[in-house]
Amino acid sequence: MHETTEDLAALQVLLDKSMARAGAHLSSILTSERRLPAREICDRLTGMRLLALATATADGRPLVGVVDGVFYRGAFYFGSSPDAVRMHHIRRRPAVSATHAPSEALAVTVHGEAYLVDVAAPAHAGFRQALLDIYVPRYGERWEAFLDAGPVYARIAATKMFAFAGDRQP
């Protein structure tokens, strides 16, 4: 877990504000017993987590694709090819939604805007190291050269976030 005390506090505020604006149907599902607090979200979202990421075309149609997601400092990050359609969309229309739902036991959804992140910049050294910690054991030392040569990453600045623990009984 990479989150600071401040990251956890900000994430909890986001979760609470999101639930305060939730509709009746979502509130009936995301009961207080089934909501995850910030710390537990961070504990459950370690390593790489697949995200279903939705972007929008120029004419407003949604497109969903799966990306490698990394939850770092209270936010989802994801990578893709610089010439991927999703990155083309984000550069022009940064509004996105993403969900990590590996089973009925867990679902985390964010809505917000995606912003490109330069993993070579000193300001993002911690995130770069988190990527190396995840992928080098999986793919070997050559993955660092791949990171330097290929993918681009984006951070989702969430305006809403919902976390459901289906493994908890109401």
Q: Which of 36, 41, 119, 37 is CA-nearest to residue 73?
A: 41
Give the pair of three-digit tokens for residue 101: 């739902």
Answer whether residue 170 shows pLDDT above 70.
Answer: no
Query: What percentage of the chain exceeds 70 in pLDDT?
Result: 99
Entry pTM: 0.93
Alpha carbon 103 to its chain centroid, in Å, reads 17
Alpha carbon 130 to its chain centroid, in Å, reads 14
Answer whether residue 115 shows pLDDT above 70.
Answer: yes
SS3 (DSSP) at 156: strand
In this prediction, residue 169 carries a pLDDT of: 65
Average pLDDT, the chain: 94
Q: Once rounded to an integer, what is the mean pLDDT over residues 72-95?
A: 94
Q: Express each pLDDT in 12-24 by its tens digit.
A: 999 999 999 999 9
Q: Which of 106, 97, 100 is CA-nearest to residue 51?
A: 100
d(CA 124, CA 58): 30
Answer whether residue 165 shows pLDDT above 80.
Answer: yes
